[in-house]
Structure 1
Amino acid sequence: MPQREPVVEMTGITIEFPGVKALDNVDFRLYPGEVHALMGENGAGKSTLIKALTGVYQTSSGRIVVGGVERRFSGTDEAQEAGISTVYQEVNLVGNLSVAENVMLGHEPRVGPFISWRAMRAQAREYLSRLHVDVDPGAELSSLSVAVQQLCAIARATVVDAKVLILDEPTSSLQKGEVDELFAVVRELKERGVAILFVSHFLDQVYEISDRMTVLRNGRLVGEHLTAELPRLELVSKMIGRTEAELGSIEARAHRVAQRSDDDAPRLEVLGLGKHGRIEPYDLSVYPGQIVGFVGLLGSGRTEAVRLLYGADRAERGEVRLNGAPVRLANPNAALRQKIAFSSEDRKREGIIGDLTVRENIALAVQTVRGVWRRVPRKEIDEIVERYMSALNVYPNNPNML
């Protein structure tokens, strides 16, 4: 890569919240015309670093230089004025407005005090055409696919002449063809000299699209690497703090556990489970030590099928067997009593209660099974919380945080 000045240079970035240091002396560089992946486990500090760059969080210490000028943004509007735009995982557009209104939001052309709707549609069409997006600017945004909505969000970012484009998990809801379409746009923006910060948990996509990567772990910088020079297993090792030998040993043990003979019985068995008009009857067997992939295109019924199995939705037909015995999973409480857990794809709305602390969220399932009148002793809750925060490496390690 030719020697150039970085468009973004963050040095010694530290961010502290009460009782926890979310970022600890982190350095980060982003060059024009590159795709730079920001890597790390959940809780590594990726989102915090992005929020520090875009003015959502104020740094406790460190310097942020954008375009050669030291900056301290007090909000996202100042970051946008400096040419930094963000497209979030959850598309932050207004579904009941038109495509043109979303693309030009905050930058509507006016004639005196009035919006020029014709000019707005024409300008929106121009920004969309630069990304090869052929949609009617007058169409309601919610009528379009998630992939097209993502591209509309990127088009809105280009309205402010973005020098830096941050893509936070942009492919999480996209199918393969839609990902290819998005990456074609990313490569074109890269050719124009836009610096792109790419965040994703899909390693195949990271290695396909990125030029360099920065790895964070527990709020600290692990290293900066050229993507082509960092093997995948070594990347995973740096992200989770395990040696490659340890990872290989874990994988070997998992394969040994998953091996089974023809005489083995399934731990979980689903026979003809279904719901009229929603899910056709299906069968499923899961053996001890197995990881069974449940795949399908968006809208194919993957989530709905699992919700039936867990009792989150009521099945109208079929049977569930656990260790060979029929069980009736009429609701999530019944599933929990059978030691069956469900992690929702929409964890923010269905998996946690944001107004409760980490400790209260972990203890909630236990209290739910016990019932409202059988209070779980504080000592038992403390032991459960400590065990699971340690086992799952929850970071920051503060059970009293919201």
Structure 2
Amino acid sequence: MTTSRFVIAGGGLAAAKLAEALHANDFDGSVTLIGAEEHLPYERPPLSKEHLLGKKALADFTTYPAQWYRDHHVEVLPGTTVTAVDRSTKTVALPDGTTLPYDKLALATGSRPRLLRLPGADAAGVHVLRTIEDSDTLLELFGAARRLAVIGAGWIGLEVTAAARTAGVEVTVLEAESVPLRAALGPEMGAVFAQLHRDHGVDLRLGVKVGEITTADGRATGVRLDDGTHVEADAVLVAIGARPNIELAADAGLAVGGGVLVDESLATSDPDIVAVGDIADHQHPVLEQRIRVEHWANALNQPAVAALTMLGQPAVYDRLPYFFTDQYDLGMEYTGYVGPTQQARVVVRGDVGAREFVAYWLDPGDRVLAGMNVNVWDVTDKIKQLILSGEPVRPDDL
């Protein structure tokens, strides 16, 4: 009997968890995991959190050790990328010109940082954060630099800022929006994070536009704003979001949009190919809309469903989006989803000033769309229940 051949294009957490899920479902064929980094798959949240604080090393957040892959008969090709997918012959091409056949293919190609297209953006001392090497570089920087300019007040920018301030680095954050995290949390909750960072000595400048990164002898010396203001810095972090790596899927003729379009089972427009993690633009059966979120929880949980789909078993990915952050003494979990065009009002229970509260996003019919707990724990399941019930709530009862 011919052995089934499954290929996973990607080398992050989603790829490792997919390999695990296949074997948990007694798949006895061959699995090949192809990752661009030289490392075994690892989790990325510590790159901007515990690793930057010097609390965790790579081994602490590597998903599985090398022996695990050997024990489970998973062939790992590190430092390699899939350059093309030929759906007609069901093969993937590698940089050395060889090809690998597949019966089922999983795309877990992740995302990459958005880059600035401005003068000075390619200078030495300009950094992004995506890989362990990026995080290592920033950690070393914290011991040498006195001033850091952070362009972008999203999750990565603010988490790095918190780690830098903890290390004693002076930080100026430059953000085009009127509040941090506006797209993710809206103006009211974004203001909470603005105050958090100002309370910890961050020079947070909102509603500003970057004109260039200034340099001397090929090295960044700061950031000049459009109004001519110059922010002096020994290093610059560009944290303006990420782009999903969907080029491989698009070149293969798969349906793409904001990501790789997948159905409720995470299957792409080709039934022999699934997509998971950052790239998956997923038709969510509960939210009844397409969503693509670049969060750790998707990489962790989607592979269990994708594995069943690859094995020809019925499966639906219906988990609510979830993400978390840790900044200074603030820990937060967010559950649910508020679309960019959805109307919602925020109801808060607890003490915002003390940063110990739960916030709820309610639609015009008083149904709970999302909830965020800040320094309040063991309430995530209750928030999920409120969202999944689909029933209106009395705000006074929250």
- Work out whether the TM-score is over 0.5: no
- For the pair shown, the structure with the greater C-alpha radius of gyration is 1
TM-score, normalising length: structure 1: 0.22
> Which has the larger share of helix?
1
TM-score, normalising length: structure 2: 0.22
> Which has the larger share of strand?
2
